[in-house]
A and B are shown apart, each in its own frame.
Chain A
Amino acid sequence: MILRVRGLAVATVWLAVMIAAVPYAEAQSNVVLDDILLQDELSYQSAAYLVLVSSGRIDQNSSPQEAVRALAALQWAVAGRGADDPVTLGEWAYLLMQAFEFPGGLMYRISPGPRYAARELAATGIAEGNAMVNMRLSGERALRQLGRAMAWAEGERL
């Protein structure tokens, strides 16, 4: 429970700092964040936006559609996914692993992809609760995981 609150808090603080730093971004980021928090199933463009902005790969005032294009340019695009399609936990985990350059476990190093990315998130504690590769996740859960992934990337223990 403490970790859950902490993860969401880290992600929210990060977004708040972003918003405060760039006045123009405020309105747009607020809209994006509100939209993500309300998503029962995290959309592909929201996943792209979150991982690329949080890892500093695109500017915070980019749109989710621009994030999808940036993802394709990085060759991280998920084949067959439209911008509004929901992503699976495995796909989201794989985006996180790539964005934060987590080395992963033995099997992830041998065969990088959504399956072992989801396992890595479960093993490290970034994903709390059930972490099945093909399950969908809500926007709120994704934000919590993003917060913990950022903490993990900073060398913190979860």
Chain B
Amino acid sequence: MRRRLHFGRAAAALVLLLLLPPVVASATDWDWGGTIDNTTQLGFSTMYDEVQLSQKLKVGLWVSGLRPLDGGGSLELTGAGSYSYSDERAYIFDIDLLRCVGRFPGALGQRSLLQTTAGRTVFRDPTGLVLDHTADGAIVRLNYPGVRLRAGAAYTGLLLSPASSIRISNTDYMEAATDDQFFGPRRAIGLLDVTVGGLSLFTLAQFDLRDDGDEDSIDTQYFGISGTGRLGRSGYSDSFMIISTGQEQVGAGETSLFSFVVGSGVRFFAEQLRFSRASFRALYASPFLPLEDDIGFNIYQFKPINEPTLGLVFTPRLSNLIFTELDYSLRPFAGQQRSAADSIRVGITGRGFFRGYSGDIDYIDKFDPNSDSLYLGTELELGVAARVLSDLGLSLRGGVFVPGSGDRGAFSSERAPEWALRFDLSTGF
């Protein structure tokens, strides 16, 4: 079985590589370069035995080839590989991108733009909350004025396990915690969306391709609607609703899943106020609600295909969660004319975390099992970021998570406040 599995992956990789030589050979313009990204994070808390230091360094190389086509179209090949060092692993060599993009203006009507992408590329749903991850596959986009269509299919089994955050089932999370998996979870993903003006209708589905009877497997489907509207001259409102169905198989038993996530927010941008940006958003991701006796079926915890990052210190899963975030930032040195300090942006963010239902969240430590409070805690973040030079970006973020404990919170008194300080450096060559 394992041999067949590896053969399948090798064949898929071979097909991927066979698609590329014709483009490579025909490209007329070439360029290459490198990237260096470093993240250093310190964590402090009376809960920790010592200061937690984590370090991640990523050095990447990319190459890009472009062949212009008649009629304004083009074929573009991009390959990007990297070496990563982190505290957990001394090295990971990975392929971050390996894709061919074809642009064909006017291919399906005078005002159409057809774009096809094949290879390893980023797949993202319109909200970025269900899926925002690289995978191997193909995307076809067709744009007309005011209308955009997109269809895609991908396979995640060729992603290296440490680089894959495609985690849905308990087996996925267990594999992530061990070193014995070379590749990430094998899943097939499909997506289809249509956007008319500021309104998007979209659907995604993922299918667990593992066939080991000892493991649990989950297939999920997502049906969403998202919209963006103008609020005055410099404001926007965003809203979305995603309903998910699923089939969870554990041994011989199968459970049908139904869950949802809804959210809304507003954001403002004021160039005249030193490029101020302000935003507020709130999300509700369904918990497990035993409603079978009332409505005929239970509601289950929402499970995205990969987890979005919601906070700096406290990053719960988008599941059984009410999340609120208020953010403000500005460029204090930005005047009428551009200057060296122009790009410095300082910001402050407040986040509130609540459970959607007073059930246990088993992956988070130090819950008070007797508490029925929904309040998880509050996070406050301060940050400063600057693009010091066109190819050198720096950012420093500090944050504190104050857990809700005692009478008003869901945590036990053992859960203490946690602090984090994170420094990011990004450059290229």
Interface residues of A (CB under 8 A from B): 104-109, 116, 118-120, 123-124, 130, 132-135, 152, 155-157
Contact call B428/A107, Cβ cutoff below 8 A: yes
Complex: A104 Cα to B392 Cα, angstroms: 11
Question: B424 to nearest A CB, angstroms?
Answer: 16
Query: Interface 1/0s, chain B 405-429, versus A by CB < 8 A?
Result: 0000000000000000000000111
In the complex, which of the residues B29, B338, B342 contacts A134, with contact meaning CB atoms closer than 8 Å? B29
Please give, as numbers and ranges, the residues of chain A lying within 8 Å of B228 by CB-CB distance: none
Complex: A124 Cα to B33 Cα, angstroms: 17
In the complex, which of the residues A123, A130, A135, A156 contacts B391, with contact meaning CB atoms closer than 8 Å? A123
Residues facing A in B30-69 (CB within 8 A) are 30-31, 33, 64, 66
Please give, as numbers and ranges, the residues of chain A lying within 8 Å of B338 by CB-CB distance: 152, 155-157
Q: Known contacts A107-B429, A155-B337; decide if A132 and B66 are in contact (CB<8 Å).
A: yes
Contact call B391/A107, Cβ cutoff below 8 A: yes
Q: Known contacts A107-B429, A119-B33; decide if A132 and B389 are in contact (CB<8 Å).
A: no
In the complex, which of the residues B28, B31, B76, B429 contacts A133, with contact meaning CB atoms closer than 8 Å? B31
9 closest cross-chain pairs (CB), A and B: A123-B390, A155-B337, A105-B391, A105-B390, A135-B29, A132-B31, A105-B389, A132-B29, A106-B392
Interface residues of B (CB under 8 A from A): 28-31, 33, 64, 66, 74, 76, 337-339, 342, 389-392, 427-429
Please name 27 pairs of A and B residues whose Cβ atoms are closer than 8 Å in the assembled complex, sorted by A.
Answer: A104-B389, A105-B391, A106-B389, A106-B392, A107-B428, A109-B389, A118-B31, A119-B33, A119-B391, A119-B428, A123-B390, A130-B29, A130-B74, A130-B76, A132-B29, A132-B30, A132-B64, A135-B28, A135-B29, A135-B66, A152-B338, A155-B337, A155-B338, A155-B339, A156-B338, A157-B338, A157-B342
Question: B310 to nearest A CB, angstroms?
Answer: 30
> For residue A103, which residue of chain B has the nearest CB?
B389
Please give, as numbers and ranges, the residues of chain B lying within 8 Å of A105 by CB-CB distance: 389-392
> For residue A156, which residue of chain B has the nearest CB?
B338
Please give, as numbers and ranges, the residues of chain A lying within 8 Å of B337 by CB-CB distance: 155-156
In the complex, which of the residues B29, B31, B76, B427 contacts A106, with contact meaning CB atoms closer than 8 Å? B427
Question: B32 to nearest A CB, angstroms?
Answer: 9
Please give, as numbers and ranges, the residues of chain A lying within 8 Å of B392 by CB-CB distance: 105-106
Complex: A107 Cα to B390 Cα, angstroms: 9
In terms of DSSP, what is the predominant structure of the interface of chain B?
Answer: strand
Complex: A152 Cα to B342 Cα, angstroms: 13
Please give, as numbers and ranges, the residues of chain B lying within 8 Å of A123 by CB-CB distance: 390-391
Contact call A134/B31, Cβ cutoff below 8 A: yes
Complex: A2 Cα to B335 Cα, angstroms: 22
Complex: A109 Cα to B33 Cα, angstroms: 16
In the complex, which of the residues A120, A134, A157 contacts B30, with contact meaning CB atoms closer than 8 Å? A134
Complex: A75 Cα to B190 Cα, angstroms: 57
Complex: A152 Cα to B337 Cα, angstroms: 10
Question: B269 to nearest A CB, angstroms?
Answer: 14
Complex: A16 Cα to B390 Cα, angstroms: 32
Please give, as numbers and ranges, the residues of chain A lying within 8 Å of B76 by CB-CB distance: 130
Please give, as numbers and ranges, the residues of chain B lying within 8 Å of A116 by CB-CB distance: 391
Please give, as numbers and ranges, the residues of chain B lying within 8 Å of A106 by CB-CB distance: 389, 391-392, 427
Please give, as numbers and ranges, the residues of chain B lying within 8 Å of A107 by CB-CB distance: 391, 428-429
Please give, as numbers and ranges, the residues of chain B lying within 8 Å of A119 by CB-CB distance: 33, 390-391, 428
Complex: A156 Cα to B29 Cα, angstroms: 31
Complex: A120 Cα to B391 Cα, angstroms: 8
> For residue B335, which residue of chain A has the nearest CB?
A155
Complex: A135 Cα to B33 Cα, angstroms: 15
Question: B427 to nearest A CB, angstroms?
Answer: 6
Please give, as numbers and ranges, the residues of chain A lying within 8 Å of B64 by CB-CB distance: 132
Q: A119-B391, A155-B339 are in contact. List 14 more A-B contacts (CB 8 A).
A: A104-B389, A104-B390, A105-B389, A105-B392, A106-B392, A107-B428, A109-B389, A119-B390, A120-B390, A123-B390, A130-B76, A132-B66, A155-B337, A157-B338
Please give, as numbers and ranges, the residues of chain B lying within 8 Å of A156 by CB-CB distance: 337-338
Question: B414 to nearest A CB, angstroms?
Answer: 47
Please give, as numbers and ranges, the residues of chain A lying within 8 Å of B429 by CB-CB distance: 107
Question: A131 to nearest B CB, angstroms?
Answer: 8
Question: A142 to nearest B CB, angstroms?
Answer: 16
Q: Known contacts A132-B29, A157-B338; decide if A124 and B66 are in contact (CB<8 Å).
A: no
Complex: A135 Cα to B74 Cα, angstroms: 13
Complex: A118 Cα to B390 Cα, angstroms: 12
In the complex, which of the residues A120, A130, A155 contacts B66, with contact meaning CB atoms closer than 8 Å? A130
Please give, as numbers and ranges, the residues of chain A lying within 8 Å of B30 by CB-CB distance: 132, 134
Complex: A119 Cα to B391 Cα, angstroms: 8
Question: A152 to nearest B CB, angstroms?
Answer: 8
> For residue B30, which residue of chain A has the nearest CB?
A134
Complex: A134 Cα to B28 Cα, angstroms: 9
Contact call A124/B390, Cβ cutoff below 8 A: yes
> For residue B65, which residue of chain A has the nearest CB?
A132
Complex: A109 Cα to B64 Cα, angstroms: 24
Question: B236 to nearest A CB, angstroms?
Answer: 19
Complex: A155 Cα to B339 Cα, angstroms: 7
> For residue B74, which residue of chain A has the nearest CB?
A130
Question: B111 to nearest A CB, angstroms?
Answer: 15
Specify which of A105, A108, A124 lies most central, judged by the most chain B CB atoms within 10 Å of its CB. A105
